[in-house]
Amino acid sequence: MIVRRSMDELHKLRRSGLLVYQILEDLRQMASEGVTTHDLEVAAEKKIADAGARPAFKGYYTQASGTRYPFVLCTSVNEEVVHGMPSAKRKLRRGDIVSIDTGVLLDGYYGDSAITVAIGEVNDSVQRLLKITEESLELAIDRVRAGNRLFDVCGAVEKHVTANGFSIVREFVGHGIGTSLHEEPQIPNYVDRRGENPRLKPGMVLAIEPMVNAGKAETKVLADKWTAVAKDGSYSAHFEHMVAVTDNGPWVLSRP
């Protein structure tokens, strides 16, 4: 069942979304040569506490890992796709890209968003990877309209990414979001004909999160049980927004 939120609830999700936005923008400024992903983690943890919120990822259990995630951020560098773990040993360097993904719980409602940031100058093909991935998210957002179906959203990402020669990660998907971090529906970044294709209705809230590899699509999870990497070592980008279906079109809750 896909929950439909009241206007009052959407405004609570909006507050959570904007908190995540503000944290990510601060971290975007901070992320530069010599800064470690642990430095980002420490800053994010303080911002979440100062806002009177709780981190959504820290302590989150997944069956796949069999463990609780230990950090407030996922920081996935270069060939890391998602769920990279902050580390004091991981100094960002010129030419790196880092996906910064975080979630909060504020007043009973979750926020979740991700950006991928380039450190200094990155080469043209990496720049293109970031651009196409972010564009694919924007195209998907534009499909979040009452009367459209889930496959319209999924297909928008898939079409743009594949037309530009990149690969869509299949093992991880977007999700509904509300009073749980992960709610129905699952939102693959491709049209999964074996999956459900519900019609979108006002009040539904979707966390859309394209994960795109420059090389092949296949991923593997490292021995730490969390870090997913591109099997072929190619760079991977990730952007995420929470989007509400309204009578007036898409409402991106995780940006002003």
Cβ atoms 236, 210 nearer than 8 A: no
Q: Which residues pair with 101 in a beta bridge?
A: 74, 114
User: Which of 112, 152, 158, 183 is in the footprint of Co ion by CB under 5 A?
Assistant: 112
69 binds, among ligand MF3, Co ion, none (CB under 5 to 8 A by kind): ligand MF3
Name which position in 43, 60, 134, 145 contacts ligand MF3 (CB under 6 A): 60
For the CB of residue 53, give the shortest distance to Co ion in the complex, in Å.
16
Can you tell me the distance from the alpha carbon of 65 to that of 228, in angstroms, rounded to the nearest whole number? Answer: 11
Contact between 71 and 46 under an 8 Å Cβ cutoff? The reply is: no
- 58 versus 91: smaller Cβ distance to Co ion: 58
Considering only residues 207, 211, 212, 252, which one is a binding residue for Co ion as defined by CB under 5 A?
207
Print burial letters for 161-186: b (CB count within 10 Å at least 16), e (below 16).
beeeebbbbeebbbbbbbeebbbebe
Q: What is the smallest separation between the CB atom of 77 and Co ion, expressed in angstroms?
A: 19
d(CA 153, CA 205): 13
Closest approach of ligand MF3 to the CB of residue 249, in Å: 24
Binding region for ligand MF3 (CB under 6 A)? 57, 60, 62, 69, 74, 83, 101, 112, 114, 175, 209, 240
